[in-house]
Amino acid sequence: MLKRPERYQQTDEEQKPFDRQTIVAISIAIEAVLLLAATAWCYFGEIDLRGLFKCNLTVLVWGISAGLAISTINMAILYLSQKLAGRFFIFQSMHDLLKHEMIPIFGQLTFGDSILLALASGFCEEVFFRGVVEATGGIATSSICFGLAHLPSFYYYPYALWALAVGLVMSFLMVGTGSIFAPVAAHALVNLISINVLRYIKT
């Protein structure tokens, strides 16, 4: 079993997460960088994504349905990580990620913040990963990169594997609908629900 980070012995006060305004600013800056990188990649790599930017009710229904399904599994993982953390490493890792990484950060946000970050992350990350990365390297490459982007340290590799699986779902969702707005809607909804669940746990 991998060793838990030593800082987990600290109290919440000693860990001192960033304040709310800084968290929002950093998150938006990261998403902006991804979108700018995707734009530059399209320009210099001569990648045309315009055909993916079509939206209709069917696309949105598929995206929202996928987002709700993924969120349901997320809630099951959350529940199991609370109940089985001491018995299985995969759930211990998830529990520590929630308690020591996610809740101290996202638990501070307001509902308005959650909407802003969900929309920004859903659009910018999908354009980058399902757009330019997938157009360049294929579904496997985009999903692996998406998983690695959700790997703060190797101790959390179960979360990265789950993110990889979600990335695959997003890719097949885009292929099936022919629109990037399906995974955008799914991604944004998953993040919106997740952030607000973390806010609820925090309180």
pTM of the entire predicted model: 0.92
The pLDDT tens digits of the residues spanning 117-162 come to: 999 999 999 999 999 999 999 999 999 999 999 998 999 999 999 9
Rounded Cα distance between 114 and 106, Å, is 8
Helix, strand, or coil (residue 181): helix
Q: How many CB atoms lie within 10 A of CB 133?
A: 22
Helices 157-177 & 134-149, crossing angle to 10 degrees?
150
Are 32 and 124 in contact by the 8 Å Cβ rule? The answer is yes
pLDDT band at 201 (very low <50, low <70, confident <90, very high): confident
